[in-house]
C-alpha cells in the first residue's frame, strides 16, 4: 500500500462511498471542478448547521500515519472560522482539524490549537487551493504537519493518540454559509509504506476515462439489448442504473473496455490508476464483482466485492504500477482496458 485512496468526484449522482451528515447536503456538481468536470459541493444553503461529507476507511486500510490532500475553493472566505478537514481515529475522536480563515490557517490537534500560520498568499474567493496534512499517531511522538500549495506552513510534534489506535475517518466541512459555489476536488490519501506514493501526495489531478470501445473480452450481456455494444451501456457520465447496463448470470464472465485517451501536459506523470464501477446484484445479496485492468495480455484484478441489491460504487485497488511492475506512461494508459468480472454466485 501507499496511495490508498483517491477521489475526483467524476461520477455525478453517485456520492457513495462518501456519506453525508444527517442533515444531508453534499452533491457532485459540474461547473466548479478543479480537474475533470465535477467536484463535491458542500454548502449550508441558509441553515446554520455545517454541512459535511465523510468516508470511513475500511479496517484493512486504516493506519497510524497518513498524508491527506484536498483541493478546496470557497466563495466566502471570511474572518470566521471555517473548518475544512477533520481526521478521526477509530474510536471516533477528532485527532486533527484544519480551520481556514481569510488570513490564517489553523490546525487543532486533539482539541488544542497547535499550528497557526498565514497562508502563503491571501485567499481569493472561488479559487482552488491545495491543502495537505500529515498525521502520524503516537502517544508521545506523534506528528502533524501542514502544507498549503505545496509550501510547508508548520508542524507540531507531541501526543497525537487520544483513545484510538488508527486513523479511520475523514470529514470534509462546508466552507460557505450561503453561496453554492464552494467545492472540494482531487482528494488523495497516501500512507507511509511502499516504494512510491509513500509521503506527501503533492499536486495532482484525478481524471475519469470512460469506455469508448469493446476490449478483448465481451462475455456479459447488454441487459436492455438496445446498445451498439456492451461498452455503450456503461459509458454514461451520470449513472442511469438499470436503464442501460450489462449483466452476467454466472461466475467468471469478463468484460473489458477500451477507454478514452488521456491528455497530459508536459512534465505530467501518471501516479496511479483505479477502476470504478456502479453495480448491484439482480437476485441475491452477496453475489460478487471483481474490477480490474488489462494491458496487452496482462490482467490485474481486485479482490471480489459483495454486491448489494441496490446500486453502489465499487473501486479496484489502486494500481501504482503497470504490468511487469513498470511505471505508468501515456502509451500504457491509452492502451489500458478497464474490466469487470463476475465473482461467486452465492
Ligand atoms: Ca473532479
Ligand atoms: Ca449504463
**Dist. CA 151–CA 191, nearest whole Å:** 20
Cα-to-centroid distance, 40 and ligand 1 (Å) = 8
Cβ–Cβ < 8 Å for 281, 309: yes
Q: Residue 206 Cα, ligand 2 centroid: separation in angstroms?
A: 22
Cα of 183 to ligand 2 centre, how many Å?
Answer: 27
> Residue 197: inside a domain, yes or no?
no
Identify whether 200 is part of a domain: no
Q: Looking at the structure, do residues 241 and 326 belong to the same domain, yes or no? A: yes
Q: Which ligand places an atom closest to the C-alpha of 38? A: 1
The answer to whether residue 113 sits within a structural domain is yes
Which residue, 190, 219, 242, sits at the end of a domain? 190
Q: Are residues 184 and 215 in the same domain?
A: no
How far apart CA 164 and CA 159 sit, in angstroms, is 12
Looking at the structure of the chain, the number of domains it has is 2
Whether 301 contacts 341, CB under 8 Å: yes
Residue with cell 446500486: 311
Residue 172 lies in a domain: yes
Q: If you measure from the C-alpha of residue 176 to the centroid of ligand 2, how many angstroms do you get, rounded to a whole number?
A: 34
Q: How far is the CA of 240 from the centre of ligand 2 (A)?
A: 5
Query: Residue 130: inside a domain, yes or no?
Result: yes
Q: Please report whether residue 205 resides in a domain.
A: no
Same domain, 58 and 113: yes
- Closest ligand by atom to 277 CA: 2
Ligand nearest to the CA of 40: 1
- For the CA of 12, the nearest ligand: 1
Are 106 and 183 in the same domain? yes
What's the pLDDT score for residue 28? 83
Q: What is the CATH number of the domain that holds 175?
A: 2.60.120.200
Rounded Cα gap, residues 62 and 59, in angstroms: 5
Ligand nearest to C-alpha 188 = 1
State whether 296 and 230 are in the same domain: yes
Do both 50 and 102 map to the same domain? yes
- Same-domain pairing of 31 and 144: yes
Q: How far is the CA of 101 from the centre of ligand 2 (A)?
A: 42
Distance 41 CA to ligand 1 centre (A): 11
Q: Which of 268, 328, 274 is closest to 302 using CA atoms?
A: 274
Domain assignment of residue 202, yes or no: no
Residue that terminates a domain, selected from 139, 156, 190: 190
CATH value at residue 338: 2.60.120
Q: Which contiguous run of DSSP H or E holds residue 112?
A: strand 112-117
201 in any annotated domain? no
Cβ atoms of 322 and 282 within 8 Å: the answer is: no
Regarding pTM above 0.85, the answer is yes
Ligand number with the minimum distance to the CA of 204: 1
Distance (Å) from CA 14 to ligand 1 centroid? 13
Q: Which residue has the cell 516504494?
A: 195
Interval between CA 3 and ligand 1 midpoint (Å): 18
CA dihedral 79, 83, 313, 332 (to 10 degrees): 70
Taking the centre of ligand 2 as the mean of its atom positions, its distance from the CA of residue 218, in whole angstroms, is 16
28 and 164 share a domain? Answer: yes
- Greatest alpha-carbon span in the chain: 62
* Separation of CA 291 and ligand 2 centre (Å): 16
**What pLDDT score does 22 carry?**
45
**Domain match, 253 and 331 both:** yes
Tell me the CA–centroid distance for residue 203 and ligand 1, in Å.
14
Mean pLDDT of successive 10-residue segments in the chain (346 residues)? 87 70 64 92 58 79 95 70 88 94 90 94 85 97 97 97 96 66 89 92 96 97 90 94 94 97 92 94 86 96 92 89 92 97 80
Q: How far is the CA of 222 from the centre of ligand 2 (A)?
A: 10
The bound ligand whose nearest atom lies closest to the alpha carbon of 241 is: 2
DSSP secondary structure code for residue 103 in this structure? S
Q: What is the pLDDT of residues 14-52, one digit of tens each?
A: 766 666 554 445 678 888 899 999 998 876 555 555 567
The residue segments making up the domain with residue 154 are 3-190
> Does residue 229 share a domain with residue 137?
no
Amino acid at each position: 500500500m501507499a496511495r490508498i485512496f483517491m477521489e475526483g468526484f467524476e461520477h455525478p449522482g453517485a456520492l457513495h462511498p462518501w456519506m453525508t451528515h444527517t442533515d444531508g447536503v453534499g452533491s457532485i456538481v459540474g461547473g466548479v471542478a478543479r480537474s475533470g468536470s465535477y467536484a463535491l459541493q458542500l454548502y449550508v444553503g441558509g441553515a446554520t448547521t455545517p454541512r459535511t461529507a465523510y468516508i470511513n476507511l475500511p479496517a484493512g486500510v486504516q493506519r497510524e500515519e497518513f498524508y491527506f490532500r484536498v483541493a478546496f475553493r470557497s466563495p466566502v472566505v471570511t474572518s470566521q472560522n471555517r473548518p475544512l478537514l477533520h481526521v478521526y481515529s477509530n474510536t471516533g475522536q477528532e485527532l486533527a482539524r484544519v480551520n481556514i480563515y481569510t488570513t490564517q490557517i489553523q490546525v487543532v490537534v486533539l482539541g488544542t490549537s497547535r499550528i497557526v500560520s498565514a497562508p502563503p498568499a491571501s485567499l481569493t474567493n472561488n479559487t482552488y487551493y491545495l491543502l495537505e496534512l500529515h498525521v502520524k499517531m503516537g502517544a508521545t511522538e506523534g506528528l502533524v504537519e501542514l502544507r498549503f500549495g505545496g509550501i510547508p506552513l508548520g508542524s507540531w510534534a507531541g501526543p497525537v493518540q487520544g483513545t484510538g489506535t488508527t486513523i479511520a475517518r475523514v470529514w470534509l466541512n462546508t466552507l460557505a454559509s450561503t453561496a453554492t459555489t464552494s467545492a472540494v476536488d482531487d482528494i488523495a490519501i497516501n500512507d507511509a509504506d511502499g516504494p512510491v506514493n509513500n509521503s506527501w501526495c503533492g499536486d495532482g489531478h484525478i481524471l475519469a476515462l470512460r469506455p469508448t470501445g469493446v476490449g478483448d473480452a465481451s462475455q456479459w450481456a447488454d441487459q436492455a439489448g438496445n446498445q451498439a455494444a456492451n461498452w455503450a451501456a456503461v459509458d454514461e457520465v451520470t449513472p442511469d442504473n438499470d436503464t442501460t447496463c450489462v449483466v452476467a448470470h454466472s461466475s467468471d464472465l469478463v468484460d473489458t473496455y477500451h477507454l478514452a485517451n488521456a491528455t497530459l501536459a508536459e512534465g505530467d506523470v501518471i501516479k496511479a490508476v483505479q477502476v470504478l464501477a456502479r453495480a448491484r446484484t439482480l437476485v441475491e445479496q452477496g453475489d460478487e464483482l471483481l474490477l480490474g485492468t488489462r494491458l496487452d495480455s496482462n490482467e490485474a484484478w481486485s479482490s471480489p466485492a459483495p454486491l448489494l441489491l441496490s446500486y453502489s460504487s465499487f473501486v479496484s485497488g489502486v494500481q501504482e504500477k503497470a504490468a511487469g511492475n513498470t511505471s505508468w506512461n501515456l502509451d500504457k494508459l491509452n492502451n489500458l482496458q478497464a474490466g469487470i468480472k463476475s465473482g461467486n454466485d452465492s
